[in-house]
Chain A
Amino acid sequence: MQLCGSVMWQRGTNISWCSSSLSECFCCVTRSRAVLRRPGYDGIYTVYEAIRERRTFVSSMASLWSKISAILPPTEEQFPLQFSDKVALSVVEMLKRARQQLYGDATSASSRILTAQIILDYSWERLNTGTWRHVDKEWRRVYSYGCLFKAAAICRRSPSEEEILQAIRTCDMGLLMGAAIMENILQVIVRILQREIRTLAKEEDAHENIEAKKRKIASPHVGLIKDELSVPRIKCPSLESFNANYLLPLKPVILEGIIDHWPALNQHPWSIEYLRSVAGCRTVPVEVGSRYTDEDWSQTLLTVNEFIDRYILNEVQDSESDHKAVGYLAQHQLFDQIPELKEDIRIPDYCCLGEDDEDDITVNAWFGPKGTVSPLHQDPQQNFLAQVVGNKYIRLYSPEDTEKLYPHQSQLLHNTSQVEVESPDAERFPEFVKAPYLECVLRSGDVLFIPVKYWHYVRSLEISFSVSFWWS
């Protein structure tokens, strides 16, 4: 039987050839048009990426390990394991054992996974001891190495779709809780794994699109905003006029038209289906509970798919509670975790009026259903709140009126008001109704400038996705 022998991928001296029979393989159809592409973000040369989707499940899984081992250092000696003496020697021994198992062939999958799990469990305990601020970065690196070894062990031998999702979850834990290792290799691995999942999911896509159309979001009935209390709006102001009229005097304003060019509003409009396709299997932190000042407020980790099913579309009933719990993907640096989404947004030009480098600007995602509430609070930096999907009701109070807002006394919540803005307790907080405020409904395409320390209260009026930029 003659084998195809076409080059599948190549990196340095490592080359992989198509080993399908010449008569069955699709390569031969297009061999004359074969092109060796330059490496992309993950350093892989792929030749027949379009054809690969039509390969059998088994052969495409076999090449998954090839792709992963292609981005790992070629030999055990070249695999770095450097740690400060904060990391106990016994742990370093465990890491070396995991490395040895990675490059050896003799170990069983369960042994590899056990070694990785021990590294994960031990460093996990260090990560959960004391305050997060004081956790040594070395332990977070160890945790990331544990995630790397575990993901590699899972993907070694023809993993099922469920196992690939498990490996993605493992990498995400490393990205969320660990610290970057080996030039952010976990990010590279996730990209490879996501590609595999997408290949497998292609057949299910057509069916989903029909369902998606049925879920069109109905426009909410929005209460009237009184004119004299509304936040001023301005369309595409110049840098100078924004600086003079709003930034220097620290006055809030809604900037219109300044994110019209975002791919999130044009080429890749952010919809539930799009978010599922780009980030569905990725693990993210979710806040559960009506507001973060409540006693039963908590945080949990879910995949984006689970979050959408349970809290956005409310398809999964929570049998424990009579009313539906609110879940909010809030204050998360999603765009560091999922670079594809970062390409759909831009840092507003007006941030250049600040002192920060672009890298120091904190970009957070805020994605949730109707009814998410951020209690009245203030932040220590300037904020551009860009509304991408849906509408939010926002109320603003000046820092000059802080005494009328009754901030909590505790250290943890001293930047948060005790007052429930939309139903204030007049007996406990009599001065609150006297405090002047501005309000608005922030719509898709709007950007609200919240000056530093300006008190703000936010409630979503429908399914909403906002992006905030904290700068100084």
Chain B
Amino acid sequence: EDSCVRLAGFCASISSNESFSPVTVNTSGCQDAAISETHLTLALPGRIESWHGQLGHGGLISEEEPRTVEALWGMTMRSVAAGGWHSICVGGGDLYVWGWNESGQLGLPSRGLRKDEELHEEVFISIQAFPALVDVSPSCEISTVSCGSRHTAAVTTGYLYTWGWEYGQLGHQTTSSLDEPQCVEFFRNENLHVVDVVCGSWNTFTAAVKK
């Protein structure tokens, strides 16, 4: 709806009981909402609100009420997506990520994905408690994002980038998880222009048109 987000189902954080009739969360002007099994994130003019789960407030405690992600205050956020244990949002053409990164789903260096020899070099991030900016591709605006359980997909100007946990859902014809956004070459090779992406838990669905 225009001004409210209605939730129905099991709301463990809002009340301690199951709620089977819609519960109204008063959030006027909501432009986008993303829900996953663990948390709900809303994109409102000028702010992102999130609670219960991977929240971006700098801590690891559940929140019972929607709370503004202060690090992104003042920026207009166009869209938001929630994965199993992470969240991302798009504002000003940039991508912001926060939450768990044990499978590289944030696109930040993840210890579990690196071989032993490389372990001493970089700073690894397993939990990103505040939103961080991620460079998906040089000088390309992000148009759509979506999150699966532990992977992320982003559409730029006609290209699809995926990263995170891999069981085939990244589409790179390999079986290794990635902690850096990588372009899905298939669409380039087939002369396809990617227009949209939606992720299921362990899979990815894309809409593309012939160039």
Q: Footprint of B on A, CB under 8 Å?
A: 118, 121, 125, 128-130, 319-320
Contact = CB atoms under 8 A, between A and B. Distances in A.
B84 A125 contact: yes
Contacts of B12: 130
Contacts of B41: none
A129 B167 CA distance: 20
A47 to B, nearest CB: 43
A426 B122 CA distance: 40
Question: Chain B, interface size: which category?
Answer: under 10
13 contacts: A118-B167, A121-B167, A125-B84, A125-B149, A125-B150, A128-B85, A129-B37, A129-B38, A129-B84, A130-B12, A130-B38, A319-B120, A320-B120
A129 B84 CA distance: 8
Nearest to B165: A121
A207 B38 CA distance: 53
A321 to B, nearest CB: 12
Interface of B: 12, 37-38, 84-85, 120, 149-150, 167
A125 B167 CA distance: 14
Nearest to B175: A114
The 4 closest A-B pairs by CB, nearest first: A319-B120, A129-B37, A129-B38, A125-B149
Contacts of A130: 12, 38
A130 B149 CA distance: 14
A130 B37 CA distance: 9
A118 to B, nearest CB: 8
A69 B99 CA distance: 43
B82 to A, nearest CB: 13
B210 to A, nearest CB: 34
A128 B150 CA distance: 12
A129 B38 CA distance: 7
A118 B169 CA distance: 14
Nearest to A126: B37
Nearest to B102: A128
A110 B149 CA distance: 24
A325 B41 CA distance: 37
Contacts of B37: 129
A125 B38 CA distance: 11
A319 B37 CA distance: 38
A344 to B, nearest CB: 35
A128 B165 CA distance: 15
Contacts of B85: 128
